[in-house]
Amino acid sequence: GAGVSQSPRYKVAKRGQDVALRCDPISGHVSLFWYQQALGQGPEFLTYFQNEAQLDKSGLPSDRFFAERPEGSVSTLKIQRTQQEDSAVYLCASSPRQTGELFFGEGSRLTVL
């Protein structure tokens, strides 16, 4: 499709497991953002990429969270040793420029038991 694609849509993990969430942005989009959204809340910024460069990772909550975009297109958000407080929807967004409209995927809902 032409939109931002995220996988998996739903992920259930046992506490302590590692998870990887994938984002396929719109082709040619320079900017890529990851956000964490708790139920009924606004999205919280995690990290920002411009092409393959991670320019801002100030929102990553701990060193268990790691994101990469090695070739400037697909991005992966990895969470190591998951905790219950990591349960949330993880949203990926891309943008054709450094600033401007964000195009969001449908999100990956992570539940940690």
- Residue 21 CB, shortest distance to other proteins, in Å, is 14
Shortest Å distance, C-beta 38 to other proteins: 10
Q: Which is nearer to other proteins, 82 or 95 (CB)?
A: 95
Toward other proteins, which CB reaches closer, 81 or 98?
Answer: 98
Tell the smallest beta-carbon distance from residue 104 to other proteins (Å). 3
Residue 41: count of CB within 10 angstroms of its CB:
10
Q: Which is nearer to other proteins, 17 or 24 (CB)?
A: 24
Q: Name the DSSP class of 40.
A: T
Distance, in Å, from the CA atom of 47 to the CA atom of 103, rounded to the nearest integer, reads 15
Contacts to other proteins by CB under 8 A: 4, 31, 33, 35, 40-45, 48, 50, 55-56, 59, 91, 93, 98-102, 104-107
Q: What angle do CA 39, 47, 64 make, to 5 degrees?
A: 80
Q: Tell me the CB-side half-sphere exposure of residue 40, using CA atoms within 13 A.
A: 0
